[in-house]
Amino acid sequence: MALEEVVVTEAIMTEYYNKFMSSLELDVAVVGAGPSGMTAAWRLAEQGANVALFERKLAIGGGLWGGGMTWNTIVVQTESRHILEEAGIPLKEFKPGYFTADAVAATTILASKAVLSGVKFFNCITVEDLMLREIDGQKRVIGLVINSSPVEAAGLHVDPLVIKAKYIIEATGHPLELLQTLVRKNDVRLNTPSGGIEGEQSMWAERAETDTLNNSGEIFPGVYVTGMAANAAMGSYRMGPVFGGMFLSAEKVAKEIACKLGK
Ligand code: 48F
């Protein structure tokens, strides 16, 4: 077969353009492709929602690849076991109630579940801001302001583009980037005890795991928070390489949004 380089270029441009065009008005835009973002995106896409996931880095997976301190095994508890089993991630019971999974298997299988369910991945795209509107006297986030990550990394002065979404999922992990930007740039109150960002506390795994689930939900009109970002927003603890709360909080947020979308 003759191979024309220009056809390869045309194929990439056409396919990416089509993917981007079908993502201009989303049901759900997920920011951050760590365990919580990928799980929430998968759960929503498999119910038929139009979902895209934006990830700054070239590689998706966030903190899931590295297990604890680069020893690439993760631990989950009984409560979240069903989600990993449903995805097809092999689990081993280490001690009663403590299950381990290979971190590389967990990351790749979760990513393939998401992509095969119809989630449109945009890696190497940084979400640098949010789009706000006042609707019926209330401010609401209606979309994302996105830029190419190499543009950000090089510090180039290049304007971003936007996409609209009925719901945004803030899954940027410990740095809580989206909500930090929302609060810094706008006179708004979050659905937190102080109305602002409470900030993450030190390690207390048991409390952190329960809190992650309780803290996940709609934190501002149009914006749901999940995973470690939920604890950073609400002032709870970190938990290290126990990942059960990440999966469970994503499942909760996906259920709430699916319900609002009438899925
Ligand atoms: O950090 P991350 O894995 O978040 P998570 O899903 O899981 C946390 C755990 O990995 C671990 C933990 C629990 O055991 O404490 O840390 O809550 O994934 C967050 C992803 O968001 C991306 C970032 O590169 C990472 O892959 N991200 C952060 N800010 C942006 C972003 C941004 N502004 N635009 C796009 N992606």
Ligand 1 pocket, 62 CB below 6 A? yes
pLDDT classification of 64: cutoffs 50, 70, 90: very high
Distance 38 CA to ligand 1 centre (A): 10
pLDDT classification of 48: cutoffs 50, 70, 90: very high
Ligand 1 pocket, 245 CB below 6 A? no
Burial grade of 227 (CB within 10 A; 0-12, 13-18, 19 or more):
buried
Q: Closest Cα to residue 167, out of 80, 262, 83?
A: 262
What does the CA dihedral 260, 192, 182, 250 come to, rounded to 10 degrees? -50
Token output for 68: 């604890």
pLDDT of residue 4: 96
pLDDT, mean over the chain: 98
Question: Residue 63 contacts by C-beta under 8 Å, 6 or more apart in sequence?
Answer: 34, 35, 173, 228
DSSP secondary structure, 243-256, as one string: -HHHHHHHHHHHHH
205-215 vs 244-260: helix crossing angle, rounded to 10: 10
Q: Which domains does the chain have, with CATH numbers?
A: 50-261 (3.50.50.60)
Per residue in 77-104, pLDDT (tens digit) is 999 999 999 999 999 999 999 999 999 9
Q: What is the Cα–Cα distance from 230 to 219, expressed in whole angstroms? A: 9
Q: What is the Cα–Cα distance from 254 to 224, expressed in whole angstroms? A: 9
In a mutational test of the pocket of ligand 1, which residue from 169, 246, 249 has the highest number of ligand atoms less than 8 Å from its CB? Answer: 246
Ligand 1 pocket, 228 CB below 6 A? yes
Ligand 1 pocket, 64 CB below 6 A? yes
In a mutational test of the pocket of ligand 1, which residue from 172, 184, 236, 247 has the highest number of ligand atoms less than 8 Å from its CB? Answer: 172
Judge if pTM exceeds 0.85: yes
pLDDT of residue 17: 98
Distance 159 CA to ligand 1 centre (A): 24
Distance 200 CA to ligand 1 centre (A): 14
Residue minimizing CA distance to atom 25 of ligand 1: 62
